[in-house]
Amino acid sequence: MPQPKPGLLMVAVRPFKALFVSDAFAGVLLIAVAIAAMLVANSGLAHGYHELFHGTLAWSPIPKLDTLHLWINDALMAVFFFVVGLEVKREIVAGNLSDARQRRLPVLAAVAGMAAPALIYLLIAGGHAELRRGWAIPAATDIAFAMGVIGLLGSRVPPSLRLFLLTVAVVDDLGAVMIIAVFYTANLKLAWLFASFIVFAGMIALNRFRAASVWPFVVAALVLWYCVLNSGIHATIAGVAAAFAVPMQERGGRNLLTTMEHALVRWNAYLVVPLFGFANAGVALTGLSFAALLDPLPLGVGAGLVLGKQTGILAAIVAADRLGFAAKPAGASWFQIWGVAALCGIGFTMSLFIGALAFPRYPLLIEEAKIGVLGGSLISAVLGYAVLRLAARKA
């Protein structure tokens, strides 16, 4: 018996239904949130938007976190970094970074893709002493945004390039975490730092003694976060450290690392990161002229993302392939590789985060950095999408 043909409405909504069950939705959601934040920040709701996130809370269980913005950036984002840490550890232990031959190209590309944007930023903005701290802003890739664009392209992007982008982003995230820990730490409080090491050692002991329950690690991670928060190191580093202490071996019939990752990854993608984006992407454009976009800070950030990312990554892949160090992604043309390299210039989440750390006492500089991040990320997204779309037609 022949099956009835789907109705017109079902045909129309099928692409949207597929989008909601795909990994691309996280990136599309982030794009929508960024647009919403910009619209609100430039409407009659702007004052309420600012007061919501930056107004002092009537009461906070942790006095140091006295605004909603601080709770999001210092507490909720620790969950984001915890998930990043779990992903990095999984890749190092049993994923694409566990094989020396497989990790050569993405590691080299990620390092070059962080160094080139930093260099371009310093060439443009480094002449101003107060701006030099922003050198790392264009160094990071936003994997959710980039994979969202890749998801919109569907089968036009070879699987090898998707895997390459994911692996580069993992190494990129690890590099950004190291940068935050080393270069954006000040006024260390040794007592709290020592307490952090003790708690972390306790988590390692839980691992060594084969603790089979998730909850001891959860409680210890919360204590570690509180100690790091008060130590002078940015509290989100506690998320990565705690993740590295979670065991990946089977315990009590389950893998604790993958159990925790699976439990948190959707909360991370659909709540934590979008909330961070909405709280941080709102930039008031009132009175902004084209000349202001050419100021050293936004220009340095934007140029670092658009030019630095693709130049560094492309140069690394070409050099590795020509010198026999590592072959380019299989089944991908150089035109497609260029498109993916351009997408790596989307630096939304981590770039906004580093921008806030770079200029904590200069709100105006943070706003200028946001303009550079949003502008550079938008250009990179459009360029990468266009190149990959055109490359698919030529294939």
Rounded-to-integer distance, Cα 150 and Cα 169, Å: 13
Judge whether 6 lies within some domain. Answer: no
**Domain count within the chain:** 1
CATH number at residue 227: 1.20.1530.10
DSSP tally for the chain: helices H, then strands E:
19, 2
Closest by Cα among 352, 354, 347, 335 to 381? 347
Q: What is the pTM of this model?
A: 0.87
Judge whether 337 lies within some domain. Answer: yes
Q: Which two tokens stand for residue 71?
A: 């709770």
**Do the Cβ atoms of 19 and 28 come closer than 8 Å?**
yes
Domain that holds residue 101: 70-280+292-394
Q: 61: exposed, middle or buried (C-beta count within 10 Å: 0-12, 13-18, 19+)?
A: exposed
Give the pLDDT score at 395: 61
**Do the Cβ atoms of 176 and 354 come closer than 8 Å?**
yes
Cα 53 off chain centre by: 21
Judge whether 238 lies within some domain. Answer: yes
Angle at alpha carbon of residue 145, lines to 142 and 149, rounded to 5°: 135
Judge whether 63 lies within some domain. Answer: no
Rounded-to-integer distance, Cα 110 and Cα 178, Å: 14
Residue segments in the chain with a per-residue pLDDT below the cut of 70: 1-23, 287-289, 395
Rounded-to-integer distance, Cα 294 and Cα 290, Å: 7
Judge whether 1 lies within some domain. Answer: no
Judge whether 43 lies within some domain. Answer: no
Judge whether 246 lies within some domain. Answer: yes
The CA-atom distances, in angstroms, between 235 and each of 7, 107, 224, 361 are 52, 26, 9, 18
Residue 232: count other Cβ atoms within 10 Å of its Cβ.
14
φ and ψ at 251, to 5 degrees?
Answer: -130, 120
Furthest CA-CA distance within the chain = 76
Q: What is the 3-state secondary structure of 122-150?
A: HHHHCCCHHHHHHCCHHHCCCHHHHHHHH
- What are the tens digits of pLDDT across the range 241-268? 999 999 987 777 788 999 999 999 999 9
Residue 209: count other Cβ atoms within 10 Å of its Cβ.
8
Q: Which two tokens stand for residue 269?
A: 């993608």
CA atoms within 13 A on the CB side of 51: 6
Q: Which residue has the tokens 């790392």?
A: 136
Q: Are strands 254-255 and 250-251 parallel, antiparallel or unpaired?
A: antiparallel
Judge whether 106 lies within some domain. Answer: yes
